[in-house]
Amino acid sequence: VAIVTGAGRGIGAATARLFAREGAKVVLASRSGTELAEIAAEIEQAGGTCLAVPTDISEENQVQALFTKTRETFGPVDILVNNAGILRDKSFAKMEMEDFRRVVDVHLMGAAHCCKAVWPHMQAQQYGRILMTTCSTGLYGNFGQTNYGAAKLAQVGMMQTLSIEGAKYGIHVNALAPTAATRM
């Protein structure tokens, strides 16, 4: 059972399709119900099993509902892919702090909410895989993306620490920093 956030398009949708092709039961999470329905239909037409749950991962109560629905529908979660993201690009001098906060809330706090929801269950089952989709912007910077770069590099720090804490429970935590052209 794999939960993929940001599964409505781009890297998240591709990840969800791949997991479904490999036989996983996939839970698609994204704020856009329309996009999720399209990806879910694609996966089901190809013979995969999935569940689409519109979710704003920056809202802890919505993440808890996502996790509860996943467990009720498919059972224990084996894989979490923290992929959801947004952009609010402006140079730092022109950026409103609300735009800074919103990006951090989605990328960093959203990933933290998702990890917190699955963590005790993965500990109990002595197994779990968590993947953070970070970005080269967090590692190298990019003009107009102070908020995004800060949030993405913070995910790397969270990944490093969770990988240490999860090791004795069979929970492996990794991050990928792809560079790609997507609609985002």
User: Would you name the residues annotated as active-site residues?
Assistant: 148
Buried b (16+ CB within 10 A) or exposed e, 50-63: bbbbbbbbbbeebb
Of 171, 142, 135, 172, nearest to 156 by C-alpha is 135
Dist CA 97 CA 95 (whole Å): 6
Dist CA 175 CA 157 (whole Å): 10
